[in-house]
Structure 1
Amino acid sequence: MSASRSILLIIGGGIAAYKCLELIRRLKDRGIATRAILTKAGEEFVTPLSVGTLAGERCFTDLFSLTDEADIGHIALSRSTDLLVVAPATADLIAKMATGLANDLASTALLATDKRVLIAPAMNPRMWQHPATRRNMAQLEKDGVLVVGPNSGAMAERGESGPGRMAEPAEILAAIERALADEAPGQRAIGFLGRLPGGAGEQGALAGRHVLVTSGPTHEAIDPVRYIANRSSGKQGHALAAAAAAAGARVTLVSGPVAIPDPEGVETVHVESAREMLAAVEAALPADIAIFAAAVADWRVADATPEKMKKDGSGLPPLALIENPDILATVAHRQSARPALVVGFAAETQNVIAYAQAKLARKGCDLIVANDVGGTGVMGGDANTVHLVTRDGVENWPTLAKQEVATRLMAHIAGLVPVRTGV
C-alpha cells in the first residue's frame, strides 16, 4: 500500500471505540496516514490525547473551533483524504448519515465529503435489528456506503448476545486496504457486509471466490479397530470454513474424522485417511484460495492387516511405517490449477517461528499460520495463539477464540487476493 494513502477516521460513541486505537496503530504500520475526528460521545470512551498521539497529529473534536477552522476547515478535512472510515458507526451516526443531518463535526464532514465512506456498525443487537436501523442501512448501501461487520457475539451489556459487535481491527484494516486498492467508483464488493434480517442482501469480501479448507485429523488404519491419529478436534478448520462462507465464498471443506457438526452453507466432504484427503482436495480443485488446517498424520502403517491383530504373547507386532503424501506441498507446487493463495498451518511444541519459516520455504506455500500446541489442553481446545509467517516477516496475534482467529484470518486473506469486480 502506498505511503501516500490517508484516511479520515470518525470515532463514534460506543464501547468499541477502544478498538480504534489498535486500528490506528495497524494503519500506521501499513503506511496509511490517519486523521481523526472524535465525537462528543466518543470522548466518553477514548480521549483526544490518546487518539492524537497514536495518529501523530491532533484529534479534531469541535465543529466551531476557530483555531481548527482557520487551520483546516471541515470541508477540507473531509476532502483531503482518500477514504472516510466511521468506527464505531453507532445507530445515531448511521441515522444522521441516512437522513443527511449535519449538526456536529463528524456528521458535517460526512455530508460534505466527495470521497467514499466505509462504516463499521456497532450497537446492541435489538438496535441493529430494529426496522429504523434496517431502513437506514438499506439507504446507506443504496448511496454506495461500504460496510464491514457487524459480527455476532456477546455484548457489553450483561446477558446480551447477537449481531452488533464491531468488526475487529484486522477486519476493518483489510476492508480499508481493499477500498484504497479499488480505484473505480461505485464498486462496493469489499469487507464483510452486515446482514440485514429480512432486508437488503449482502456481498462479502470473498464473493465469487472458491475457498478450499481442510480440517481435523486423519486416521491411518493399523487394523480394522486400531489407527494412528492425533488430538486435532477440527474446531479451527471448521471455524475457517464458516468464516469463509460468511465472507461470501463458495466453500469446500474436506474434513477428517471429527466430533463437531458440519458448518452451515458449506459443502463438506468427509474422509478418513491422508490419501483420501489428498484425493478429495484434488477433486475439489480449482480453487482461488486453499487453506490447509488439517493435522494430517505424517506416517501410516505400510501394511494394515484386514483382521484385528491379536495379543498372543509372542511379542510386539512389527509395524513398519511409511510417509503419507504431503498434501500442502503437493498443491503448493502444482504447475496447473494452483490456487492463487495457498495457506498452511504449523502446529509446533518448540521453536514455533523458526520451524514455521522453514516449513514455508520447504512447502512452497504463501502463508503459514503457526501455533504453539505445547502444554495440556492446547490441541483440541477452544482458543489459539497464532503467528502469521510470510517471506516478508512475522505478525504475532494474541490468544483468541478459534472463531475469532478464523474471522480475523479470513479478513487478512481477503486483503491478499486481488479485488474481484462484477460479482
Structure 2
Amino acid sequence: MNSVQLEILKIDKQWYHEVKKNPSIPLFICLGEKHEVDLFDTYFKFQGSEEASTHDIFLVHYQEFQSMETYGSFLAEEWREAYAAWGEQDHAVPVWEEECIPEEKQKSDAYRAVNSLKNLYKIFPELDQKKIFVHLAPLNLRPELAESFGIWIQEWCKLADKNIKLVLTEHHTYRSYKNLPQNRKEFRVEIDLHKLMQNAAEQTNRDKGSTETNFQQQILLASNYLSKGKNKEALTALEKGARIAKQQKLNEAEATARLMMAQVQHVLGNTNEAHVQYKKIIQLAGESFLGIQMNMNYGGFLISISEKSKAVACFEKALEIAEKQNNSFVQIECYRMIGQLKESKLNSESVPYYEKCLEIGRMLPDETLKESSIPYTATLLLKKYGENRQARQLEQEMKTLLGDDWKRLAKTPEIINN
C-alpha cells in the first residue's frame, strides 16, 4: 500500500467513525487545508467507483448553484438519467416514482432531491441497510448566492431521514457557506503534505540510493521540518543535501540547498551565516542564468537588512551577466531596482535607470511588455518628471504601447512588497 492509499484508508476510518458517532446528523462538513479537503474529495469519488469495496452509495456533484428553486431539480434529473442508462442494460428495473411535494410550503426545491432518494429506498427495500452520502461541491459559488445555498441546505436537512447524509467541504479558516443548520457535524481532516510527498518519493523512486535521490530526500525532509517550524532540524537536512551535491559537483543542486539554508538562517536572525551562504551560492552559480537569480536573491536579502549600497552592487552584477546573455527582461528588472535603490527626493539620480528600462522595453513584444515592470517603472518616472512636457509625452507613449488603462498594469513588483 503506497502512502496516498494509506491516507485514503485513514480518511475512510475517520469518516465512518464520524457517521457512526452521529447517526441522527443529516449534514457533515469536512474542514481542512485545500490539499486536505481535496484528498477527502478524492476519497468520495473513489468510493463511488466500481473498484471500491463499500456497501454504501457515494455521490459527488459539482453542478454550479444558480438558484435555490432549481438546484434540486438538476440533481434529481442527473440521478434519473443514470438510472435510465442502467435500465437500458437491465429492463427488469422498477419505475422510479416522481417526488412527493411536501404539504408545508418550501422556499427551495431541495425536497425534489431528498424525496427522489427516499423513493429509491421504497423501490429497493434492500437498500434499507445502506446509506446514501451526497457530497455537494458546487463550482464557483458566488458570494451573493451563499445565503440561498444555505437555505437550500437547511430544507434538505429538515426532510432527510437517517440513511441520507449530506456532505460539504470547507477551508478550516476561510469559511464561505452561510445559514447552515445547527444540526450538523464538523470534523477536521489533517494530512502532513510534506511527509506524504517524502514517503511517495521514497516509494516510487526506481533508482534508490543514487546521489540525486539522496539529495531530493534531504530537500523534502527539510521542507517537512520547515512546515512544522523546526528550523534547526531543517538546517541539518539542508547541510547534508549541500554536502551530497558538492561531492558530485552538482552546482545547481548545491546552490538550491544553500539558498534554503540562507533563508532559514535569516529567519533565525543569523545574518552573518546567511551572508556566508549567499557568497558561496554566487561563487557556485558563476555567470550563468542561475548566477543572475542568485545575485538578485542576495540583493533582496541585503535590502531586507537595510544594506542598500551592497544591494546595488548585487543588482549591478546581475545586470552585467544579463547583458552578456542578451536577457532584456532581466535587464529591465535590474535597472529598475538600481534606480529605486538610488531614489532620493533631493536628486534625480534614479531617472537615467528608469529611462534605460523604457529604452529596453520599447523593443519587447506587446505581451512581454505588459508582463514586465515597465508600467510600474513608468509611474515612477512620471512622479520624477512632474508636470512637464516629458511627463505628457511619456503618458501618451504608454497609452500607445499598453492602452488607455495602462496604469492598471502597474503592479508593485514582489521584491519591493517583500
Greater share of residues in helix: 2
Larger radius of gyration: 2
TM normalised by structure 2 equals 0.28
Greater share of residues in strand: 1
